[in-house]
Amino acid sequence: MKTVKTAYVEPAEYIPEDIRRRHKLGEFAESGEARSRFMRETDDRIARGWECRRGEEYREIPVEPPIFAGHPRVARDYSRQICLFALRVFHNREAEYYDLANRKIIENCRFYIENTDVRDDRDSFYWNIGELCRCIIHFGQNGDQMPGLVSPEAEAVFREMAMGYCHDMSRLSDAESGGNATWRVYESENHHVQRDSAIWQLMHILLDDPANEKAVMADGGTLRAHYDAWTAFFKAWIRQRAGKSMFIEVQSRVYGVHTMKNIYPLYDFSEDEELRVLAGGIIDLFWALWAQEQLMGVSGGGMSRVYPDSARNTHGEAADWAYYYTGMGQMNPPDGMDYICLDSRYRMPEVIARMAAAPDKRGVYEIEMRPLGYALKEDKFPNYRPDPENGHIYRYTYCTPDFIVGTQMYPQTPSENWCLISSQNRYHGVIFGPEGAQILPIPEPKGMHNLHSTEPTVTFNAFWAMQRHGTLITQKNRFCDDAGRMRVWLSDSGGISRVLERDGWLFLRCGGAYCAIRVARGGWEIIPAGPDRAAKCETRGVWLYCEDEFTPVILETARACEYDSFEAFQRAVIALPLCIEGDGMEYTGLYGDRFSMRLDGDNGSLLNGEPYVKPIAWSVKSPFVQIPWKGDRADIAFDGESMEIRF
């Protein structure tokens, strides 16, 4: 499936052999394959991840009140604590906790047996079922690592819960895989895959007992027929995502790993070789796309479904996982989904890891993608049916070793024409280097997310944008929903310095980059940001609020090495021609690109004399990852190494 030239990295401090043996490191290498120094270092980091939680006592988390009015209670965190504790205890052979882990598994499973309303709600059951399934697969009565650590009583209650969920929730009609059937999305992309993967994993375990083969599900199909249908579904799902720019929740810092964690079990446990190879391929592709669009773990480019706190906090789940695969950044004590990464046999190919860790070698380049997002007319929440042939989105990212700037370009059109998971909380702007500084021109949210929110957190279809090279221009969308004042987030951490105002521009320097911000019409005020409740690390900064909510905001970003001085950059920017007359704006950017921008909601805006939203013949096109639109092969190359993924 893939060919990679072997390369080596500098050796690390290896962990003791007794710890390596304890975690069975290296045992998943194919027969005759020597563990490279790179793979050994990955194994060592994963072992450290397991070890850092060793001995921690169980901490009870109660079932919580509903998130949304009219919904059941929420057991997500309650179950997460149990599942992660049990998997860690059994994996680390912490015998003093075996009895407690088994009792908590029984308690968790009985809770869902007795509370099917909570089980069937989107906010509880399937979020952590993967960790619990790994307990059974590795340590149950038929376990592949150390059978019998999960007690017979705990496994029996688990199987009762599993059969009940599969019986009630699996439908052969939902597992249809012909044509464009896999683009029917339930609730949201990550929810859909979590539910379907939960069904596949539970059925995979149940089918180790031949007596369950002919168990009848609610729609009349047998358990075996359902499992085979879901296996075929995931094969088609993987092929179609790879050939059509991956996800509608495009490159989301929040939900990307939530989606992909449910593909890992297909790679780890599938007995169908074709599915296992496809799953490994799309995991490789996920990480390749992430690798080319981040600076030392901080991801950039246009995204969807990034909540305000998550936008300000550059540290996402992908960065936590990437530490184990690449050594970039630092290890945070594993939590939540991290145990899927630690337990999986998946290892990032070395060519992708080296690409991620070497922005200087990646140089200056552009990334083009064509994600889906435009809704067919029958699209009704909570189900989505995107147009599978044309998403009407041109996603563009300009990358350098010092900054990454990117957006999604799309026509201005009413929110009803977009899948909500595409138009919700769209994100774009500039990121600078490993410290995580950002400039994000995004209107403030007015929509409430849930009953626990203390402030609005949601917008739909909030802005539109034009970009070429390091010039990004954006405006609040006149067709937006739940969007308030236009504002720009400016990090106060991450190395931003030398902020000054001159001739209508705000200039700043961050590391090896210069940036200029222009509120094209009207004044602005700067307001300190409130606390970032969701951040794993401290984020500080200010909001620049525009007096005119529909003013265009211009960002000009360039590498410092391209100018003699910061003052020279300022002079170049100040000299740029800008003219606003009525509902039109004419502007020539720092890189020589010409922007003719309509400010009244009309889609006649032009970029270098052509429509700013353009169809491209590629699912992904960059110097490092190339996939033709509807293609069945991804070509990945970096620094003289290459690999091919066939779908």
CA–CA gap between residue 430 and residue 514 (Å, rounded) = 11
What pLDDT does residue 7 have?
A: 30
CA gap 377, 206 in Å, rounded? 39
Residue 13 has pLDDT above 60, yes or no: no
Closest-CA residue to 564 (of 572, 554, 556, 574): 572
pLDDT band per the 50, 70, 90 thresholds, residue 329: confident
pLDDT band for 412, please (50, 70, 90 cuts).
very high
Mean pLDDT for 441-446 is 95
Strand partners, 374: 418
Is 427 contained in some domain?
Answer: yes
CA distance 317 to 324: 12
Rounded Cα distance, 562 and 208, in Å: 63
Strands in 161-282 per DSSP E:
185-186
Structure token digits, residue 580 = 């606003």
Residue 100 lies in a domain: no
Domain that holds residue 8: 1-51
Q: Which of 23-32, 33-42, 58-67, 253-262 bottoms out in mean pLDDT, i.e. has the lowest? A: 23-32
Note the pLDDT of residue 390: 86
Region for 490 from its dihedrals, namely left if φ exceeds 0, alpha if ψ lies in -120 to 50, beta otherwise? beta
What single DSSP character describes residue 82?
H
Q: How many domains does the chain have?
A: 2
- Which helix (H) or strand (E) is 368 found in, with range? strand 365-369
Query: pLDDT of 144-179, one tens digit each?
Result: 999 999 999 999 999 999 999 999 999 999 999 998
Residue 435 lies in a domain: yes
Element (H, E) at 196: helix 189-206
Sequence-distant (≥ 6) Cβ neighbours of residue 30 within 8 angstroms:
none
Across residues 601-617, what is the average pLDDT? Answer: 95
| Candidate ranges 427-441, 448-462, 540-554; pick with highest mean pLDDT | 540-554
Tokens 């397991």 correspond to what residue?
50
Q: Residue 120 falls within a domain, yes or no? A: no
pLDDT confidence tier of residue 3, bands split at 50, 70 and 90:
very low
Decide if pLDDT at 602 tops 80: yes
Identify whether 601 is part of a domain.
Answer: yes
Please state, for a pLDDT cut of 70, what percent of the chain lies above it.
90
pLDDT band at 494 (very low <50, low <70, confident <90, very high): low
**Confidence label for 493 from pLDDT (cuts 50, 70 and 90):** low
Contact 593, 469 (CB under 8 A): yes
In this structure, is residue 527 part of a structural domain? yes
Tell me the pLDDT tens digit for each residue of 277-327.
Answer: 999 999 999 999 999 999 988 899 999 999 877 666 666 789 999 999 999
Pair of tokens at residue 313:
């906090």
CA distances from 322 to 430, 478, 625 (A): 21, 39, 18
Q: Are strands 383-384 and 365-369 parallel, antiparallel or unpaired?
A: unpaired
Question: What's the pTM?
Answer: 0.93
* 538-544 mean pLDDT: 78
The set of residues, in sequence order, having a beta carbon less than 8 Å from that of 317 and lying 6+ positions away, is 253, 254, 256, 257, 258, 336, 337, 338
Under DSSP, the state recorded for 518 is E
Q: Distance between CA 552 and CA 521 in Å, rounded? A: 7
Q: Share the mean pLDDT of the chain.
A: 90
pLDDT at residue number 537? 43
Distance (Å, rounded) from C-alpha 67 to C-alpha 79?
Answer: 16
Whether the pLDDT of residue 134 is over 80: the answer is yes
| 492, pLDDT greater than 80 | no
Number of Cβ within a 10 Å radius of residue 21: 12
Position 159 in a domain: no
> Are 292 and 399 contacting, i.e. CB atoms less than 8 angstroms apart?
yes
Residue 582's DSSP bridge partners are none
pLDDT per residue as tens digits for the range 546-560: 999 999 999 999 999
- Rounded CA separation 517/499 (Å): 11
Residue 28 is predicted with a pLDDT of 41
In a domain, residue 235? The reply is no
